[in-house]
Each structure stands twice: as structure tokens, then as C-alpha cells.
Amino acid sequence: MTITKILAVFSDHHRRNPLIWEYFEEFALEIADSGREYYSAQAVYNRIRWHVDIEVDKDVDFRMKSGHIAYYSRMFHVVHPEYDGFFRTSHLSATATNFMGEEMEADETEILAMLKNIYETGGTRIVAENDCI
């Protein structure tokens, strides 16, 4: 699967589940503002699961895909550049599909640009600065 397709799935999930980002951002800022130099994005994600399942409403059908943790953590870095590196991430390099349907390499910078667009549009549009998709 190309990064374009992966981010399209992430974008759709983000659009349909805005509370995940709201809680991710809230809890990540809480721990970042406590003075920690770095933290686990997976721990933040699991806190969201606990919060929704136990503290909010255990009967709510709240789907969270663990495969999206990497994209939420990167989106956090894009939205809050003052905390860049707060979540330790592995370098991403993947294949993307450009506007002509041709596959091309997408580097970390292009993926972050796509995530910025997902954030800014609420998941309704994914376009990299160089039209990677």
C-alpha cells in the first residue's frame, strides 16, 4: 500500500473520529507541559482508550487503530513545532502517487506536509506541497 493510500485511510478515520485528535492533543500537551523531554505516543493513545472506555462512557463505540499512532504523533509535531521531537519517531520514506497516477518516492517532509493538510482541512483533503497524490 502506498503512503498516499495509508494517509487517505488515516484522513478518513481522522475526519470521522475527531475526538481522537482532540484527546491526543490535550493529553500530549498535558504531559509535554509537565516538563518531560519526550514521551511515548503509544502511551498517550492508550490513555485515550482508557479515558473513553472507563471515564467517559464504556458503551460508546470508539474505534482506534493502533497503526495510526505514528501519524497522530507526527501531526502533533506539525501542529506544535515547539514540541518537535517530543515523540520519538522513525524516519518514514514511502511510495506516493502523484496527481497523474504515477508512483514516486515521498520523503518525511512530504508526509509531514500531507499531515499538515489533513489537520488544516479536518481530514477532508490530502495534498502535499508538490502534489504527491
Is residue 106 situated within a structural domain?
yes
Domain that holds residue 93: 3-121
Q: What is the pLDDT of residues 39-71, one digit of tens each?
A: 999 999 999 988 887 777 666 666 788 888 989
Answer whether residue 29 is part of any domain: yes
pLDDT tens for 71-118 read 999 999 999 999 999 999 876 656 555 545 656 566 778 788 888 888
Evaluate whether residue 133 is within a structural domain: no
Structure-block grid coordinates of residue 55: 471515564
Has residue 131 been placed in a domain? no
Instruction: Provide the domain count of the chain.
Output: 1
85: left (phi over 0), alpha (psi -120 to 50) or beta: left
pTM of the model: 0.79
Residues 11 and 118: beta-carbon distance below 8 Å = yes
User: Is 130 part of any domain?
Assistant: no
